[in-house]
Structure formats: structure tokens, C-alpha cells
């Protein structure tokens, strides 16, 4: 994606002139490289991830290992999920679990090893999990436990401790050793507590079953369905109802979804001005690409279409989940509070430090075709949703309310006649 040199602005189909910022793309060279790798990979694999279809791909014949950095980020994702479980009062293990877009199957293996699920399964369009080295996860876990002690020392140094050591050595200690807990915080903007290190591995890492097929063709139900940074590649109108169908009654879905409306997302697209892909309609974006980057137009458009074309907001997900019979147990927006992210790229907060970046102006241009987008959407890096499949057969009346009170206020079932009377008195006092 070469930087545009000639034109100084781009005119949208609505008549808005968007000024080019010279050198803006050069500040995002890691994103541009990731974009090129993504475009090459998608074309090589001939996969339409949004539609969930693609050419048949042979399983990898090369053994795959889990690096410590990769393990720490996935541990972080599981930690954030379990934190939402705790807030929702979910404290019992699930019998069965399905991870959508599982890749190497790291997260479902972790959940099984932690004892959160008894049977872990994953589904993907092609097999990257069979040749995965599970021993490398055990090795990374041991290293993670040691990091709790190093983290405490680093936190002490950050607060001004060990001041007798030269400042440059202290800074080298903080920067050279990448803190896994803080890596997760920089990754999404939600900094975990020190209990991040306290999660325990109780069982061997194991993926009980891998489905190498289209998710929409799967005809089974599970107690827990998860998706970590994969659902943005599915058409929302099909994916959410399918997730609901894949859950048993009372089953839970946890979805971690990268967001379209932040300045850079999992497409790695960077224009010649902030939020270029987000503030243009698709037709305008294609016209902009052909005008400013004709040599890369095909690849850019290909990657642009790699994301769910409806570019949903959090409310879109929640509304469709409700229509599909899924109740919202919890939601979170992950926003990066600093000026730079973990790759040293400008965040939304970082952009606001400059006089030629006006979020209200950007939002008004987006409102030309997407009036539902709000200012907080431009700050949101990803969202987390906790949903439950709830039966909706009974009408709300006195009998159904009594049954619900009896279920939630009287889980203790005494056997003796005396204690049964005591129980009834307590129920009468609370329920009336």
C-alpha cells in the first residue's frame, strides 16, 4: 500500500472532502505488513471466511508449538472469560464445549485442563490442531507461574523501588522482560489483576474432538460455545442464530469479537487518513483505493471483504442475540486507554492528541450511511458478550413466579418433617 502523493483530499459520494495526511501510512508500517501477509494467506488458501466456505485444505504436516507469548495472550482471553463467568454467577464446569474458529485449539485445551469443561471440541475450516504440540503448553504454563514473582518485582520497580540501581538498568529490566499480564492489558485495554497467575491447570491439555468442516453444517448441541477473535469473519445474521441452535437449553455462549469501528482492526487496513475504511461506504472505499492505490486495489478490496460486511455494533449483536433466544448475561467493551497499543501504533486516544483529527467530524461522515454508530464505538477495540439460551415457553404468572422463587430461593431440600416446616416458613416470609 504505497502512500498517495498527488491528490490532497478524497471526495465522498456525499460531497465530503477528506484531507490526506502525508506520511500517515508510514506510521503504521507493522499494520501494512500484516495486511500484505493476510492478503497473501487468504488468496493462497482460497477461503471465503465470511461465508464459511473454501477449498479443501490438507492438515498441516509440520508439528506446531505454542510460544510463551501466544500462550500468555490466550491465557489472558480465558482469564477475561472466567472473570465474566464469576460476575454472572457461573461457577460450575460444563460437560461439553465447542470453540468456533478454533485454529490450534489452544483455548478449549486450556478450559479442559483447568477443569472448566469435561469434553473440549473445536471447529475450523481446516486442521491446524492435530499436529499441535500439547507439551509446549505445559512448558509455557510453568514459565507463566514463575512470572508471578517477576511481575511483583517489576511492579515494585515501577512504583520507585530499588532506586539505588541506576535508572537505565531498571528501565532495561522493565522493557527487556515482556510482562505477560501487562501484555494482555496492552492487547485489549483491560488490565488483569494479579490473580491472573492463580488459575490452575488440573488436567492434561487435550482437544477431545476437532470438526474440520463448515460451522453451519454442524448438527450438534453443546453446553458452552466459545469464539475468540473469529466471529467477525462470519455473517452475523447467520452466525448468531446458528450459535443459538448449537446450544443446549440453558447453555452459555462467550464471544470475544474484534470491532470494525476502531482505527485499526483485524483486516490491518490503513488508509491515508484515520478511519479511512470506516468512514466510507464500500463503493466509496473501492473508488478511493483505485484512485490512490491502484497497484494494491485488488488485495485491499479482498481483505476489506474478509470482515463481516454488515460491520455490526455491539447493540447489533445484542439485538440479534435476543431475537435468537439468547439472553444477555454480561457485556464488556475493550478500549485501549494509552496513546499507543502493544505494537506502538496510535490508538483512538493517541489520535485525539492531534488538531487535524476530529472524532466528531469522522462520526458525522459515518452517520451519512450508519446513523447507529456512536462515539464510543470509535474507541472500542473489541467486545465480549456472555449469552445464555433461555427457554421461553411459559407465560409470566403467579404459578411460574412461584416456581422460579422455589428454584432460586430454596435450593436446600430438607428431608425431615421439622426442617421442611422451617423451610416453608422461610419461603413464606420471603415470597409472601
Residue-wise pLDDT for 64-98, tens only, equals 888 999 999 999 999 999 999 999 999 889 999 99
Q: How confident is the model at residue 337, as a pLDDT?
A: 84
The predicted-structure confidence for 338-354, as pLDDT tens digits, reads as follows 887 766 678 899 999 99
Do residues 67 and 77 touch, judged by C-beta distance below 8 A? no
Considering the domain architecture, whether residues 385 and 402 belong to the same structural domain is answered as: no
Flag whether 297 is in a domain: yes
Find, among 6, 19, 4, 8, the residue nearest to 354 by Cα.
19
Return the sign of the alpha-carbon dihedral for residues 251, 201, 80, 135: negative
Flag whether 373 is in a domain: yes
Considering the domain architecture, whether residues 99 and 141 belong to the same structural domain is answered as: yes
Q: How confident is the model at residue 112 (pLDDT cuts 50, 70, 90)?
A: very high
Find, among 261, 265, 290, the residue nearest to 278 by Cα.
261
Considering the domain architecture, whether residues 280 and 413 belong to the same structural domain is answered as: no
**What's the CA gap between 326 and 253, in Å, rounded?**
9
Do residues 4 and 289 touch, judged by C-beta distance below 8 A? no
Considering the domain architecture, whether residues 264 and 333 belong to the same structural domain is answered as: yes
Considering the domain architecture, whether residues 188 and 279 belong to the same structural domain is answered as: no
| Residue where a domain stops, chosen among 197, 213, 229 | 213
| Length of the chain counted residue by residue | 432
When the pLDDT of each residue in the chain is averaged and rounded to a whole number, the result is 85
Considering the domain architecture, whether residues 81 and 189 belong to the same structural domain is answered as: yes
Is residue 47 scored above 50 in pLDDT? no
Considering the domain architecture, whether residues 135 and 195 belong to the same structural domain is answered as: yes
Dihedral (Cα; 232, 235, 236, 240), 10-degree rounding: -100
Considering the domain architecture, whether residues 142 and 272 belong to the same structural domain is answered as: no
Domain interval for residue 310 = 9-52+257-389
Considering the domain architecture, whether residues 281 and 310 belong to the same structural domain is answered as: yes
Q: How far is CA 404 from the centre of its chain?
A: 34
Q: How confident is the model at residue 413 (pLDDT cuts 50, 70, 90)?
A: low
Q: Which of 10-14, 174-178, 403-407 has the lowest mean pLDDT?
A: 403-407
Strands 222-228 and 247-258: parallel
Domain count, the chain: 3
Q: How confident is the model at residue 420, as a pLDDT?
A: 67
Considering the domain architecture, whether residues 304 and 404 belong to the same structural domain is answered as: no
Is residue 3 scored above 60 in pLDDT? no
Per-residue CA distances from 9 to 3, 14, 201, 274 (Å): 13, 14, 55, 13
Q: How confident is the model at residue 26, as a pLDDT?
A: 74
Do residues 97 and 28 touch, judged by C-beta distance below 8 A? no
Flag whether 157 is in a domain: yes
Flag whether 236 is in a domain: no
Section 246-254 average pLDDT? 97
Considering the domain architecture, whether residues 380 and 404 belong to the same structural domain is answered as: no
Q: How confident is the model at residue 393 (pLDDT cuts 50, 70, 90)?
A: low
Q: Which of 21-30, 308-317, 371-380 has the lowest mean pLDDT?
A: 21-30
Is residue 280 scored above 60 in pLDDT? yes
Is residue 328 scored above 90 in pLDDT? yes
Reported pTM: 0.85
Flag whether 267 is in a domain: yes
Q: How confident is the model at residue 31, as a pLDDT?
A: 58
Q: Which residue has the higher pLDDT, 128 or 208?
A: 208
| Residue where a domain stops, chosen among 213, 242, 273 | 213
Flag whether 408 is in a domain: yes
Flag whether 85 is in a domain: yes
Flag whether 417 is in a domain: yes
Considering the domain architecture, whether residues 200 and 89 belong to the same structural domain is answered as: yes
Q: How confident is the model at residue 56 (pLDDT cuts 50, 70, 90)?
A: very low
Amino acid at each position: 500500500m504505497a502512500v498517495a502523493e498527488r491528490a490532497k483530499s478524497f471526495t465522498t459520494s456525499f460531497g465530503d472532502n477528506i484531507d490526506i495526511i502525508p506520511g500517515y501510512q508510514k506510521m503504521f508500517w507493522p499494520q501494512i505488513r500484516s495486511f500484505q501477509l493476510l492478503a497473501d494467506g487468504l488468496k493462497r488458501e482460497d477461503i471465503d471466511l465470511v461465508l464459511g466456505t473454501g477449498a479443501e485444505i490438507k492438515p498441516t504436516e509440520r508439528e506446531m508449538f505454542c510460544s510463551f507469548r501466544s500462550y500468555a495472550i490466550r491465557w489472558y482471553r480465558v482469564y477475561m472469560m472466567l472473570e465474566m463467568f464469576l460476575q454472572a454467577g457461573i461457577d460450575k464446569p460444563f460437560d461439553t464445549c465447542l470453540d468456533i474458529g478454533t485454529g490450534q485449539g489452544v483455548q478449549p485445551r486450556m478450559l479442559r485442563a483447568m477443569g472448566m469443561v469435561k469434553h473440549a471440541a473445536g471447529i475450523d475450516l481446516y486442521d491446524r490442531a492435530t499436529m499441535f504440540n500439547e507439551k509446549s503448553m505445559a512448558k509455557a504454563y510453568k514459565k507463566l507461574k514463575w512470572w508471578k514473582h517477576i511481575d511483583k518485582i517489576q511492579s515494585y520497580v515501577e512504583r520507585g523501588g530499588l532506586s539505588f540501581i541506576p535508572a537505565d538498568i531498571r528501565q532495561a529490566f522493565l522493557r527487556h522482560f515482556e510482562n505477560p499480564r501487562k501484555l494482555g492489558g496492552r492487547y485489549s485495554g483491560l488490565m488483569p489483576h494479579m490473580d491472573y497467575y492463580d488459575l490452575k491447570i488440573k488436567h492434561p491439555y487435550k482437544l477431545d474432538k476437532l470438526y474440520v468442516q463448515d460451522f453451519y453444517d454442524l448438527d450438534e448441541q453443546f453446553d458452552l460455545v466459545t469464539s475468540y477473535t473469529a466471529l467477525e469473519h462470519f455473517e452475523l445474521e447467520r452466525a448468531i442464530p446458528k450459535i443459538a441452535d448449537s446450544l443446549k437449553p440453558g447453555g452459555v455462549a462467550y464471544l470475544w469479537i474484534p470491532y470494525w469501528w476502531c482505527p485499526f482492526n483485524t483486516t490491518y487496513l490503513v488508509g491515508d487518513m484515520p478511519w479511512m475504511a470506516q468512514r466510507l461506504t464500500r463503493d466509496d472505499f473501492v473508488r478511493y483505493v483505485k484512485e490512490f492505490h491502484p497497484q494494491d486495489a485488488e488485495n485491499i478490496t479482498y481483505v476489506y471483504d474478509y470482515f463481516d460486511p454488515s460491520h455490526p455494533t455491539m447493540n447489533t449483536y445484542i439485538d440479534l442475540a435476543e431475537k435468537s433466544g439468547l439472553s444477555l448475561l454480561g457485556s464488556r467493551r475493550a478500549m485501549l486507554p494509552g496513546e499507543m497499543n502493544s505494537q506502538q501504533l496510535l490508538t483512538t486516544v493517541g489520535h485525539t492528541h492531534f488538531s487535524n483529527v476530529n472524532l466528531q467530524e469522522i462520526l458525522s461522515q459515518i452517520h451519512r450511511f450508519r446513523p447507529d454508530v456512536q462515539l464510543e464505538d470509535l474507541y472500542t477495540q473489541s467486545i465480549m458478550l456472555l449469552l445464555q439460551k433461555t427457554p421461553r415457553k411459559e407465560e409470566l404468572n403467579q404459578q411460574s413466579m412461584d416456581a422460579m422463587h422455589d428454584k432460586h430461593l430454596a435450593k436446600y431440600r430438607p428431608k425431615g418433617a421439622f426442617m421442611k416446616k422451617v423451610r416453608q416458613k422461610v419461603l413464606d416470609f420471603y415470597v409472601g
